[in-house]
Amino acid sequence: MPWKEVSTMSQRLEFVTLAAAENANIRHLCRCYGISPTTAYKWLHRYAVRGVNGLTDRSRRPHHSPSRSAPDLEAAIVELRHQHPAWGGRKLHRRLADLNYQAIPSVSTITAVLRRHHLLDPKESAKHRPFQRFEHAAPNDLWQMDFKGDFKLLQGRCYPLTILDDHSRFAIALEACAINSRNITQNALIKAFRLYGLPQRITCDNGPPWGARGRGYYTGLGVWLLRLGVDITHSRPHHPQTQGKDERFHRTLQVEVLRYQTADTLRQWQLIFDPWRLVYNTERPHEALNLAVPASRYQPSHRRYPEQLPPIEYATTDVVRKVRGYGHIKYQGSEYHIGGAFRDLHVALRPTTNDGLFHVFFCNHQIGNLDLRDHKLS
C-alpha cells in the first residue's frame, strides 16, 4: 500500500518514531498511515540499521560518524546550532546523543562552545525559566487548539492554526490559514482526525471560530465536534495560561521559525511549517519531557474519524425536543433558548432526582440544565 500524500520522507520518519515509542501498536499505526505491515517493517528495519538515511529511496553518504575528534564535535555543535538557532546546550547535548555521537561534551561545555562562537544572546537566555505544568495522563485525552497571531503576506494574511497534544506535546497540526473561519478550521481538523484519530476533548479560547457570545460557547464548529464525540471546553477569558502548552508552542514557533524565515504566500509558509513540525516532533529535545522528543510519548487515537456523522440517538426515557430556527425549544408551554448552533437538531431533557430540574443533553454531552421552577435554562 502507498504512503499517504504530503512528504514521503516526513511520513516515514514520523511513523518509525511513533513505532519506536513504548507500547506502540504497529498494526494500528499501519492503519493510521495507510500502509501494509510488510511496508512498515521494511522501513523499521532500514531505520534501525541506517537511521534517517535508511528512510530514503536512494543510498546516501551518512551525515554523522560516531567516531569524531574533538574539533569535529565542536564543528557539529556549531552546525546544529546554525540549523536550530533557538536550541541551547541541553537540547544540543541530547540531539548529539540521539545522533550516536561518542564522547559528547557536557552541557556546560557545549554552552561554552556556543559562547565562544558568539552564538548566545544573554537577553534571550535570561527569559528561559523552568516551571511545572499539569499534564493529562495519556495521549489524546486533551488537544489544545488556537490560532497564533496573524501576519501580513504580499496578498492577504497568514493565520497559523496550531493543535498540540497535552500529554506528549506532539504537534498534531500546524496549518497556514488564510483566515480563522469555521470551514478552514474544520477542514484542518478533518485532516488531523483522519491521520491521528479523535481526541477525547479539545480546549480552545473564546474567540472565533470556536467561541460565541451570549449564554454558552457553542458554535457550529463546536456542535460538529460534539456530534463526533469530542468534548469542547474553553479557557477563562483573559487567562491564556489555560492553554499554556499551546501558548508555549507559539513562542517556540516564533523564535525558531517566524523570526528567521520569510515567505510571500500561504503555500510557501506551509512548505516551511511542515518540515519544522517534523523536527519539533521527532528531533527537538523537549525540556518538559526530560529532553525526550514528543513523538516518543505520542500514539494515534484508537477512535477513528467517521466519514459520515453518526446519528443522534437518545434513550426512550428522555424528553426529546427539536431546536427551532431561532435557537429555542418549547416545553410545557414555555420557550427556552438553547443556542442557534443547534438549530434543526434534537436535544434531550433528562429528569434528575430534583423535581422540576432537567439536564439538557446533545448526543452524549450535557450542555445545560433546565429548571422548570424558575423557568430558567443555565
CATH assignment of 143-297? 3.30.420.10
Rounded to 10 deg, the angle between the 70-83 and 89-98 helix axes is 110
217, 206 Cβ separation under 8 angstroms: yes
Q: Which residue has the higher pLDDT, 299 or 54?
A: 299
The most distant pair of C-alpha atoms in the chain lies apart, rounded to whole Å, by: 85
Look at residues 212, 208, 167, 214 and name the one whose alpha carbon lies nearest to residue 185: 208
pLDDT tens string 281-332? 999 998 888 899 999 999 999 999 999 998 999 999 999 999 998 889 999 8
pLDDT tens string 224-248? 999 999 998 887 655 555 578 889 9
Name beta bridge partners: 147. Answer: 161
Instruction: Report percent pLDDT > 90 for the chain.
Output: 47
Q: Which residue has the cell 492577504?
A: 156
DSSP readout, 144-180?
A: EEEEPPPEE-SSSEEEEEEEEETTT--EEEEEEESS-
**Residue 368 is placed in which grid cell?**
445545560
With b meaning 16 or more CB within 10 Å and e meaning fewer, what string describes 123-133? eeeeeeeeeee
What CA dihedral angle connects 338, 343, 345 and 351, to 10 degrees? 10
Confidence check: pLDDT of 375 > 90: no
**pLDDT computed for residue 54 by the predictor:** 83
Task: Give the number of other Cβ atoms within 10 Å of residue 364's Cβ.
Answer: 13
Confidence check: pLDDT of 159 > 70: yes
DSSP readout, 34-63?
A: T--HHHHHHHHHHHHHHGGGGGSSS----S
**pLDDT computed for residue 60 by the predictor:** 47
pLDDT tens string 204-215? 887 778 766 554
Average pLDDT in the chain: 85
Confidence check: pLDDT of 353 > 50: yes
Q: Name the band, by pLDDT with cuts 50, 70 and 90, for residue 252.
A: very high
Confidence check: pLDDT of 221 > 50: yes
**How much helix, strand and coil, in percent to the nearest 5, is found in the chain?**
40, 15, 45
Strands (E), the chain: 143-147, 151-152, 157-165, 171-177, 201-204, 231-234, 319-322, 328-331, 334-337, 346-351, 357-362, 365-371, 376-377
The beta-carbon contacts of 59-66 under 8 Å, at least 24 apart in sequence, are 64/99, 64/100, 64/101, 66/100, 66/101, 66/102
Q: What is the mean pLDDT of residues 19-33?
A: 89
Domain boundaries, the chain: 8-55, 70-127, 143-297, 319-377
pLDDT tens string 85-139? 888 888 888 888 888 888 888 888 888 888 777 777 655 554 454 444 566 678 9
Report field, pTM of the whole predicted structure over 0.75: yes
217, 210 Cβ separation under 8 angstroms: yes
**pLDDT computed for residue 135 by the predictor:** 66
**pLDDT computed for residue 242 by the predictor:** 56
**pLDDT computed for residue 313 by the predictor:** 93
**pLDDT computed for residue 200 by the predictor:** 94
